[in-house]
């Protein structure tokens, strides 16, 4: 799966605890202890890694550095709501690879990106604590967000975590909700902002512009035939936004590159899978690259969304589609000047 991406953490990775390694990942409930010496851990879904998530993770990393222990994050893939509602999953802000890269940049040492499957859903709150926080992580402190619930039937909360933490030998605490301008920061608010093309609100709650990235893959090359060659990124989940956008592409030159992008299922050509297609303006005339934009295949790029131009439409043939693409490109150029 190619990575959806919403930007690096605005802070550099802090110095690791003594003896800590680069990011270590585990996916399963069973297995050896990831931190026999103990760790400071936090737990959550962490879709988007917005400012609220960042506050929780930064607290975890800070406490880990104070104690000279690794910092650990426990999250889930797929997201719990994706598992329980496969026919109507929530729009996804960030894909697993992007989440791992940003957690690494934030100073996290260990990530339990647990497979959210039937077996995991059968663990009650006490079993979740014992199998994961105690056996796999040897946690000394566990931090969670406000209103955190866990375990079968969402039967666990901060009270359960504290009570069983005392018996198991760890301290549990919850951070306060984070609000900006009187509004609580949450993934659902960001999803709603993106669906409405409100990138200013999304960026404010994320702490960075919203972007999606991954490695460029080959498409059907229809855009090339129509005079609009594109760099294509697969998303693989239900996206939080669809339509035509003015965008900046990062990672192809020493500066962001102006572009117009389509993100969706391409109804005119009977597309199915969500695909992000970025047309880089005047790319072939750029003197620092080859004239064939095929040199972008396999390259990791990030597409930053600036403004929504319109919704996806199904056109009566390729001529009508091409004419609209010309109008979209002109509008995007104007917005990005």
Q: For residue range 314-336, what is the model confidence (pLDDT) as tens digits?
A: 887 888 889 999 999 999 999 99
Q: Please, are residues 296 and 224 in contact by the beta-carbon 8 Å criterion?
A: no
Record the tokens describing residue 241, joined without a space: 């936004």
306 within a domain of the structure (yes/no):
yes
We report the CATH number of the domain holding residue 270 as 2.40.30.30
For residue 61, tell me if it sits in a domain: yes
Domain C-terminal end among 158, 179, 200: 179
Which has the closest alpha carbon to 140: 267, 40, 10, 56?
A: 40
How does DSSP classify residue 150? Answer: B
Residues of the chain under the 70 pLDDT cut: 1-21, 220-227, 266-272, 285-294
| Domain match, 165 and 67 both | yes
Query: Residue 146 domain-assigned?
Result: yes
238-257: pLDDT as tens digits: 999 999 999 999 999 999 99
The CATH code of the domain that includes 64 is 3.40.50.620
Whether residues 175 and 251 fall in one domain = no
Residue 158 and residue 269 in one domain: no
Could you check whether the bond before residue 78 is cis, i.e. omega within 30 degrees of 0? yes
Same domain, yes or no: 171 and 223: no
Measured between alpha carbons, how far is 151 from 123 in angstroms, rounded to an integer?
A: 6
**Is there a domain that residue 14 lies in?**
no
The dihedral built from the CA positions of residue 23, 26, 27 and 29, taken in this order, carries a sign that is: negative
pLDDT at 241: 95
Q: 32 and 135, same structural domain? A: yes
247/256 Cα distance (integer angstroms): 9
Q: Are residues 163 and 287 in the same domain?
A: no
What pLDDT does residue 8 have?
Answer: 42
Q: Within a domain: residue 206? A: no
Query: Looking at the structure, do residues 166 and 224 belong to the same domain, yes or no?
Result: no
What pLDDT score does 255 carry? 95
Q: Which domain, by its residues, includes 280?
A: 211-336
Q: Which helix (H) or strand (E) holds 194?
A: helix 187-195
Number of structural domains found in the chain: 2
């Amino acid at each position: 799966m190619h990575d959806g991406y919403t930007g690096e953490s605005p802070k550099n990775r802090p110095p690791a605890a003594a003896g800590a390694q680069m990011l270590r990942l585990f996916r399963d409930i069973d297995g050896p202890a990831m931190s026999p010496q103990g760790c400071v851990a936090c737990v959550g879904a962490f879709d988007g890694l917005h400012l609220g998530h960042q506050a929780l993770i930064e607290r975890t990393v800070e406490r880990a550095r104070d104690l000279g222990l690794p910092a650990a994050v426990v999250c889930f893939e797929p997201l719990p709501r994706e598992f329980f509602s496969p026919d109507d999953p929530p729009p996804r802000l960030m894909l697993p690879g992007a989440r791992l890269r940003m957690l690494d940049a934030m100073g996290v040492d260990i990530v339990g990106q647990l497979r959210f499957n039937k077996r995991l859903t059968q663990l009650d709150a006490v079993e979740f604590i014992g199998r994961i926080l105690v056996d796999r992580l040897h946690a000394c402190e566990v931090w969670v967000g406000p209103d955190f619930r866990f375990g079968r039937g969402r039967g666990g909360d901060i009270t359960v975590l504290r009570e069983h933490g005392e018996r198991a030998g760890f301290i549990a605490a919850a951070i306060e909700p984070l609000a900006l301008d009187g509004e609580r920061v949450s993934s659902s608010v960001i999803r709603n902002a993106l669906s409405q093309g409100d990138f200013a609100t999304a960026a404010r709650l994320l702490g960075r512009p919203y972007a999606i990235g991954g490695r460029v893959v080959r498409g059907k090359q229809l855009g090339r035939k129509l005079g609009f060659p594109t760099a294509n990124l697969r998303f693989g989940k239900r996206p939080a936004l669809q339509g035509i956008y003015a965008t900046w592409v990062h990672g192809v030159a020493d500066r962001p590159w102006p572009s117009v992008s389509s993100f969706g299922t391409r109804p005119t050509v009977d597309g199915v899978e969500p695909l992000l297609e970025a047309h880089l303006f005047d790319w072939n005339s750029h003197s620092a690259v080859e004239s064939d934009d095929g040199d972008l295949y396999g390259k990791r790029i990030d597409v930053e969304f600036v403004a929504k131009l319109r919704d996806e439409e199904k056109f009566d043939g390729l001529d009508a589609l091409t004419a609209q693409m010309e109008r979209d490109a002109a509008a995007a150029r104007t917005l990005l000047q």
